[in-house]
Amino acid sequence: MHTTLVVAAAGSGNMGKIGVMLLGVAVFAAVFMGILLIASLFKGQSGEKVQAAAFVGPTLLFIGIGLIYPAILTIRRAFYSGKFFDLNFGTARTRGKYVGFDNFQAVWTTPGLKQVLFNTAMWVILVPLIATAIGLLYAILIDRAKGEAVAKALIFLPMAISMVGATLIWKFVYYFIGDPGADQVGLINAFLDKIGVAPVDFLGNAPGNTFAMIAIMIWIQAGFAMTVLSAAIKAIPDEILEAANMDGVKGFQMFRYVTLPSIRSSVIVVLTTIAIATLKAFDIVQASSGGKLGDSVLANEFYNRSFVTQQPGLGAAIAIVIFLLVMPIIIFNVIQMRKDA
Amino acid sequence: MATVKFDNATRIYPGNDVPSVDKLNIDIEDGEFLVLVGPSGCGKSTSLRMLAGLEEVNGGKIWIGDRDVTNLSPKDRDVAMVFQNYALYPHMSVADNMGFALKIAGTDKAEIRKRVEEAAKILDLEQYLERKPKALSGGQRQRVAMGRAIVRSPQVFLMDEPLSNLDAKLRVQTRTQIASLQRRLGVTTVYVTHDQVEAMTMGDRVAVLKDGLLQQCDTPRRMYDHPNNVFVAGFIGSPAMNLLNVPVTEGGARFGSGLLPISREDLSRAGNEITVGVRPEDVDITSEGDGLPLTVEVVEELGADAYVYGTPASDKAKDPTAPVEKPFVVRTDGRRPPMKGETIYVKPKEGHLHVFNMETGERIGD
């Protein structure tokens, strides 16, 4: 978020933005080529070390500036009150003061945030499981079927749409007109109307709206799950499947005893990747209701508290909570990868 | 245990006009070890997979015992297969790999354990039962694959080049082990290999295939002494049999300066030229002027024996248009081999000559 602000500030100069950008890229490229050129002058054993440093150094530098430093600032900010990011900004009343763990306490006690935590839990449990299940089922069904490439492209396409775009599409699908007797124009409600079922305000009421938005995320992520799992399934040697055939394995047993264990590590990667993406997803909620209808999630709330309600301390605390929730998933993932290596 | 019968079994892959296996007829005795051998693409693996049920049979029938298994699924055929790359389940321990078929069949756990341990004892795998396949050496994996087949005690073992991933020394060891294990268990076995030495050393009978057609199915001895055609003659034996196209003259075939005695009856069935074959060990080095002159090009000294590779030199001198023949190989005493560049004269030993029709490649006479 800090970087976003910096970019926005630079952009507001409003004079030859593109020129400035091109100049920046040129300087960046020149610096890089210079570093690599100098590094290439070193030969032999020590030369390799210099070259390695020349490649890794800039990355470390930018991770430091772009990730570590803001992270430290965010952690620090979470322990202060105040209305602005800058702790020394504003009047004596609005200036940041050290408040210890008050902001973290507020995450659990602020009215409405319990709902947010519950919603987030729903997202993180349902999206990875259902998206992976659908992706896996789809991958198995279309494996070696006719028109596999087309079938894959169809389900993968949502991945290429931004989450905001996807949400707008689904808003039309879910569209509800409250007027009794009015023509429903939303795809689902028009259909329900046709078959004589009362239309539903999918995105209007909690907790139903959370599940309606979870469906959008699943729609996006199932393609990703399908692609990765399909590749994993194809990597199972034919001989193993034939051996299983000879051993008398058939139908669901094949999936249970051979296919699933063989692609276990891919399934874990997919589950955890989607779980992390889901924890971080703020766009869908933001583009739908902005989280005002009892359907907010942590990522959206972090944005709201930081930039809308002017509680940057609480926002930073929420960001840290998200980070802490992601950590175990990543650690689990790394342990699994080590196991399989 | 059962007999196996290929009855005009044919396999045509979709999109192909030519059958990959063409009307294969083999009767395999109960408890017999049959080796299918041939160059790559000859249809030997396809034949095995047809028997396994992994490949559709487009014509003819396959019988195991008195059951027609042509259209049965693999699991209903009561056969077990050892794959070239072993096809072990990487996520299962050795014991689970070996007992998996029984587990699927719903066999009692204690019974599975008992049979797995028995098989592990036979194969010397007892201390590896809890390991995963990736923690085993190539030879151990191969034995697990064997164990997986043994545990099922099927009617027929099918083996698809099970030794080709082992190093040369281990391959020789393992092939003896497999052959003796098969004799001990007495299970009918069909074994595929491209290595004719493996075929000759392991099989009760050997079936040579080429282009989907069965060339000959005989005991190794018979196969060696009495090849039915030029292909089998050249394929079986190492170094290969010398095959020469020679003109037919009155009373025999001209062989260098000499004459090969061939019966009148046999000659009448040939054209103007015949193909004669003689194994390297069935050639005598004679005195100068007697037989076929050879210019020695390479001498391979193997200790007890030496193989002399020579080209029929004079042919080229007399008739420059004559095609250059493959080198003619002669086995000689390893202690007194001829020198490189020397010219020697050779003649086949009496009674060890194979005669083939040059056009059809079929054997003439006995």
Express each pLDDT in B127-149 by its tens digit. Answer: 999 999 999 999 999 999 999 99
Would residue A125 count as lying in a domain?
Answer: yes
- Mutation to test the A interface, candidates B55, B72, B85, most A Cβ within 10 Å: B85
Residues A66 and A118 in one domain: no
One domain for residues A133 and A57:
no
Q: Are A78 and A103 in contact (CB under 8 A)?
A: yes
Q: What is the pLDDT of residue B201?
A: 92
pLDDT of B315 reads: 53
CB B235 within 8 A of CB B196: yes
Q: Are residues A119 and A240 in the same domain?
A: yes
What is the number of CB-based contacts under 8 A between chain A and chain B?
62
Asked whether the predicted pLDDT for residue B265 surpasses 50, the reply is yes
| CA distance linking residue A120 with residue A294, whole number of Å | 12
- Nearest Cα residue in chain A from B159: A243
Looking at this protein, which amino acid is placed at residue A213?
M
Residue A99 lies in a domain: no
Identify the domain boundary among A45, A67, A93: A93
Residue A103, in any domain of the structure:
no
Reduced to 3 states (helix: H, G, I; strand: E, B; else coil), residue B48 is helix
Q: Compute CA A198 distance to the chain's CA centroid, rounded to the nearest angstrom.
A: 34
Is residue B348 reached through a cis peptide bond, with omega within 30 degrees of 0 on the bond before it? no
State the average pLDDT over residues B76-92.
92
Mean per-residue pLDDT of chain B: 89
Q: Which of A263-267, A309-313, B131-135, B267-271 has the lowest mean pLDDT?
A: B267-271
Does residue A101 form part of some domain? no
Q: Which two tokens stand for residue A334?
A: 């790394």
Give the DSSP letter string of A231-245: HHHHTS-HHHHHHHH
Residues A85, A126 within the same domain: no
Q: B104, A243: Cβ pair inside 8 Å?
A: no
Which residue, of A93, A127, A142, is where some domain finishes?
A93
Is residue B322's pLDDT more than 60?
no
Task: Verify that A46 and A183 share a domain, yes or no.
Answer: no
Residue entry with tokens 């907790």: A207
Residues A83 and A132 in one domain: no
Q: What is the pLDDT of residues A223-269, one digit of tens each?
A: 999 999 999 999 999 999 999 999 988 888 999 999 999 999 899 99
A247–B101 C-beta distance less than 8 A: yes
How close A253 gets to chain B, by Cα (Å)? Answer: 8
Give the H/E segment covering residue B331: strand B328-333
pLDDT beyond 60 at A9: no
pTM equals 0.77
Please identify among residues 141-180 of chain B the ones whose CB lies closer than 8 Å to any CB of chain A: 148
Whether B52 has its CB under 8 Å from any CB of chain A: the answer is yes
Averaged over B85-106, what is the pLDDT?
A: 93
Is there a single domain that holds both residue A228 and residue A150? yes
CA torsion sign, B147 to B148 to B150 to B151? positive
Any idea what the Cα angle at residue B309 is, between residues B304 and B311, rounded to 5°? Answer: 155
A51 Cβ contact list (under 8 Å, min separation 6): A39, A40, A42
pLDDT tens digits, one per residue of A284-304: 999 988 888 888 898 998 888
**Confidence at residue A8, expressed as pLDDT on a 0 to 100 scale:** 46
Task: Find out whether B233 and B213 touch, Cβ atoms under 8 Å.
Answer: no
Tell me which residue of A95, A98, A76 sits closest to A84, measured CA to CA.
A95
Residues in chain A with CB shorter than 8 Å from the CB of B88 are: 240, 243
Please tell me whether residues A53 and A198 are part of one structural domain: no
What's residue A15's pLDDT? 62
Count of other CB atoms within 10 angstroms of residue A133: 15
What is the mean predicted confidence (pLDDT) over A107-120?
A: 88
Q: A237-241, B6-10, B335-339: lowest mean pLDDT where?
A: B335-339
Q: How many whole angstroms separate alpha carbon B360 and alpha carbon B241?
A: 18
Q: Cβ separation of A246 and B74 shorter than 8 Å?
A: yes
How crowded is residue B112: how many other Cβ atoms within 10 Å of its Cβ?
20
Q: Using CA atoms of B327, B332, B336, B341 in order, give the dihedral in degrees to the nearest 10.
A: -10
Domain that holds residue A70: 2-93
Residue B17 has pLDDT above 70, yes or no: yes
Q: What is the CATH number of the domain that holds A189?
A: 1.10.3720.10
State the ipTM, two decimals. 0.82
Q: Residue B11 carries which side chain, given as an amino acid letter?
A: R
Note whether A295 and A166 are same-domain residues.
Answer: yes
CA distance A39 to A35: 6
Mean pLDDT in chain A?
Answer: 86
| Residue A98 belongs to a domain | no
Q: Which residues from A are below 8 Å from B84, CB to CB? A: 239
User: Quick one: closest CA in B to A249, which residue?
Assistant: B104
- On whether both A168 and A288 belong to a single domain, the answer is yes
Q: Span A23-41, mean pLDDT? A: 87
Q: CA separation (Å) from B154 to A241, A295, B74? A: 19, 61, 12
Q: Which B residues, 89 through 118, put their C-beta within 8 Å of a C-beta on chain A?
A: 89-92, 100-101, 104-105
What is the predicted pLDDT for the residue at A11? 47
Q: Are B148 and B112 in contact (CB under 8 A)?
A: no
Instruction: Please give the structure tokens belonging to residue A168.
Output: 């707008």
Q: Is the pLDDT of residue A168 over 50?
A: yes
Q: What is the largest CA-CA distance in chain B?
A: 79
CB contact under 8 A, A246 and B85: no
Closest residue, chain B, to A253 (C-alpha): B104
Do the domain assignments include residue A291?
yes
Query: Within a domain: residue A100?
Result: no
Dihedral of CA A134/A135/A140/A144: which sign? positive
- Residue pair B97/B89 in contact by the 8 Å Cβ criterion: yes
CA B227/CA B366 separation, integer angstroms = 10
Question: For chain A, what is the domain count?
Answer: 2
Which is more confident, A9 or A265?
A265
d(CA A335, CA A331): 6
- Residues A309-325 have a mean pLDDT of 89
In chain B, which among 55-84 make CB contacts under 8 A with chain A? 73-75, 79-81, 83-84
A284 neighbors A127 (Cβ within 8 angstroms): no
Q: Six-digit token pair at A256? A: 């249970």
Q: Which of A59, A93, A127 is the last residue of a domain?
A: A93
- The DSSP string of A69-86 is HHHHHHHHHTTB-SSSSS
Concatenated DSSP letters of B172-222:
HHHHHHHHHHHHHHT-EEEEEES-HHHHHHH-SEEEEEETTEEEEEE-HHH
Between CA A261 and CA A269, with CA A263 as vertex, the angle to 5 degrees is 120
Could you count the other beta carbons within 10 Å of the beta carbon of residue B259? 14
- Counting residues of chain B whose pLDDT is more than 70, the rounded percentage is 96
Q: Does A262 touch chain B (CB under 8 A)?
A: yes
Cα distance between residue A225 and residue A277, in whole Å: 12
With contact defined as beta carbons under 8 Å apart, do B289 and B297 qualify?
Answer: no
Does residue A307 form part of some domain?
yes
- Same domain (yes/no): A113, A49: no
Check whether residue A86 and residue A129 sit in a common domain.
no
